[in-house]
A and B are shown apart, each in its own frame.
Chain A
Amino acid sequence: MTVSNGGDADKKLVAAAKINPDAFAGIVDRYWNRLFGFVRRISYFSQEDIEDILQEVFVKVYRYLNGYDDSMAFSTWIYQITRNTVIDQIRKRKARPISIQLETEELLQMLRCGLDIKKELETSDLLEKVKKIIFGLPANYREVLILRFLEEKDYGEIMDILELPKGTVASLINRGRKMMLEEAKKQKIV
């Protein structure tokens, strides 16, 4: 079951899933791909691992359905649970998320949006430099920039997903952008 409109559709699906677990399939269908991409962007896990993590995420979401309240969007809430589950998994596996998986277009999009570059970037010769810039960012800055420029979340949503005050989120984004800009200047991209 796929529902195309936003928050209202989520609310209906949540209400239905509370009564009938089969209705929960609608939520899984709606969010599976988005969350798959999100986990891939913020972690180093393989495809199989991500699928396992997402199964765990959705079972948790089902279990916690009564804990969801309307003070945030359902999509924000599910991102929050996903992020926390990924962090738990990283801790469990006692490994550091050193090499996140961003595709070439995602790397360029982050740089373009982060530095507000209007022109198209020539990928062939710049790719290594862009990789160096994005992967060189501290993990917390990179995560917030991924949420802002790739997941296209607003400050309020990022605040809820990361469970940080809005001021801290704004400060992380600003500092992250500055770091990118400084590095981009060093690499002579801008």
Chain B
Amino acid sequence: MRLPNRLLLFPTLAAVALILAALPVRAATPVLDAMKEELQRSVKLLSEQPVPVYYLSYEVTEDRNVALSASFGNITRSSEGERRLVDIDLRVGSPQLDNSHPIRGDLFGNFRSFSRVEVPTDNPAALRNILWYETDKKYKRAVEQLTKVKANVRVKVEEEDQAGDFSPEAPEKWLDDPLPLNFDRASWNDKLRRYSAPFSSSGHIYEADAILTAAAETRWFVNSEGAEIRISQTYYRLMITAFTKAEDGMELPRYESFFSFDPDGLPGDGVVLRKVEKMIRDLEALRAAPVVDPYTGPAILSGAASGVFFHEILGHRVEGHRQKREDEGQTFKKMVNQKVLPETFSVVFDPTVRSIESMDLVGAYRFDNQGVKGQRVEVIKNGVLKNFLMSRTPIEGFSRSNGHGRKQAGRSPVARQSNLLVEVGETHSRQELKTMLIDQLKREDKPFGLYFEDIQGGFTMTGRRIPNAFNVLPTMVYRIYADGREELVRGVDLIGTPLTTFSQITAADDQVEVFSGSCGAESGWVPVAAVSPGVLVSQIEVQKKEKSQERTPILPLPESSG
């Protein structure tokens, strides 16, 4: 399951850190030098072994973070932390067949392991010692794994995809200065109090939190091909969440999230407080809204909803390694150069775009986790499928990485999404889209269509053992009637299977929105964005939302708390 769910972002940001003092801008690169020296020493020694190493890379990821939360006008938590993890990619065999090759029929062997090796970045000798011991362990495991891989290849039927295990890439050199976390903590505590306070005016809102997470991530990467990279990025996210309950027990959440690479890029009080007021009004309205039954019919997806929709139905299915693994659905593998969307639609993944209309895109990066430059990838061009998202694991017909080998620290990289951009040549106004929907209602004699205004996230399954479906979790849904009336409803999730749904996308409007979230898959959580205009889908399906069976509170809100 893959969830680009804004909420799920937070548990992973457990801890830390620091505010004030800017790190000195270092001309020297002691961490990189130590990594490089130990890498060269290891490669030399391990090349002399009976099973020589042919590739080695080290990536050190340093995370510093601060999390502040307020609830109904009061600070409830403040925590900070910092840690550094190292990931080692060590390969024996050859780029054609190495120890990373998936072993078929091994139920547990294909689970990518999670390692949590901590290293310091303030002491090169200490760093080298840990790199040595971990490399040595990794080498022994790699040799063992290669033996298993070779046996598996001989025993099993020939694989459909004969592409090798590792692509050649040019070594890159890049040096960012490590960025400090730099924001005014006291003033943010004050803001969070003010952003969460208005929710107490409603007697029906049971949870209301304003959360700021600030993180600075610095990554050092070296490999045996000569790459030397230090990149650094800060992430500031303000999240506001609140939920109420309908009388039937259904929990009704609203989320607003703002993201920026820079603390000053987050919106001002006016913008946030207007959103807060809208959330309160929405929640009150949702409590009274009717529940929708399962239904199929036409729908308009707002830009944010559409972004998540494309992320699930398309994005996860164009991740390169999924075209190769024999337990994957491989929905699009044989559809290269075929038309999958209307001619006016193109879908691009572009980690090099850092912002759109002054909104920062969280899926931007300069280098992926394999030291490959992030590249713009036109996956669908004028409706025709052209390309896949590639890590350094080649697939038939796509032998090179396009800089999408990504992971969370401690995991092994696979092809993952970056910034998904839905680009449409011919756009309509929102009103025109609505008219098109109403025309279809009249034509097909349907009572209503649906408008998905906001969503909290979604998930999809891409394997062969389970139905290849997706699920988008909306928070604000309206019924659009043939006479143009709109009515807020609740209690449904948007579901479907990828190919059927894809063939129903018909038109787009000019209201581009950005969804910035966090996406979880086998290589862990990575930040991703989805940018899309609103789209008209001629047929979607909704199913009932999972519902809490808990009633609303028995006693009224204490008087003192109103």
Verify that A and B bind, or say they do not.
no
Binding site for A on B (CB under 8 A): none
